[in-house]
Amino acid sequence: MCLNGLETVLHLLRDCHASNEALFLAGMPRALVHSHAKSTVAWLEETTTLLFVNSLVLILIVLWNLWNQRNAWGTSHAVGYIKVNAGVAYDSDCNTTAIEVITRDECGSVLGG
Ligand SMILES: [Zn+2]
């Protein structure tokens, strides 16, 4: 979490400065790193259609590690407490809102969601 933008999945995987540098170093063309795709799915579809399989595998490994680092960040907390993470998304095209809540114990194990 860099605090330089809304922590969306697209920010985490593509738009965050650290993420787009990692993707560029892994061989992703700058045009894809700075794509104008407006959703994670659209960007991943664009990526999968424009990269060769060997390049795509490396990019997917980088994305997986970015996701794991994000999920590992801040998971430890005091014994006896439960950590609650909540996320909200709004789709203006469909005028719908989604809320996700997940609870973890002090080891980071998911208790429910
Ligand atoms: Zn960021």
d(CA 17, CA 63): 14
pLDDT of residue 75: 58
Distance 12 CA to ligand 1 centre (A): 6
Distances from the Cα of 81 to the Cαs of 69, 78, 100, in angstroms? Answer: 22, 6, 20
Report how far ligand 1's centroid is from the alpha carbon of 34 (Å).
14
Flag whether pLDDT at 61 surpasses 70. yes
Go through 73-104 and write b for each residue having 16 or more CB atoms within 10 A of its CB, e for each that does not. eeeeeeeeeebeeeeeeeeeeeeeeeeeeeeb
**Amino acid, single-letter form, for residue 81:** Y
Domain ranges of the chain: 9-72, 83-112
Distance 8 CA to ligand 1 centre (A): 9
Number of alpha carbons in the 13 Å side-chain half-sphere of residue 5: 13
Q: What is the pLDDT of residues 10-58, one digit of tens each?
A: 998 999 998 989 999 999 999 999 999 999 999 999 999 999 998 999 9
What pLDDT digit, counting tens, does each position of 73-101 carry?
A: 655 667 888 888 877 778 888 888 888 88
Whether the per-residue pLDDT at 1 is higher than 70: the answer is no
pLDDT for 73: 67
Distance 105 CA to ligand 1 centre (A): 26
User: Could you tell me the two tokens for 34?
Assistant: 């700075």
Judge contact between 27 and 59, C-beta under 8 A: yes
Enter the pTM of the model: 0.61
Q: How far is the CA of 80 from the centre of ligand 1 (A)?
A: 31
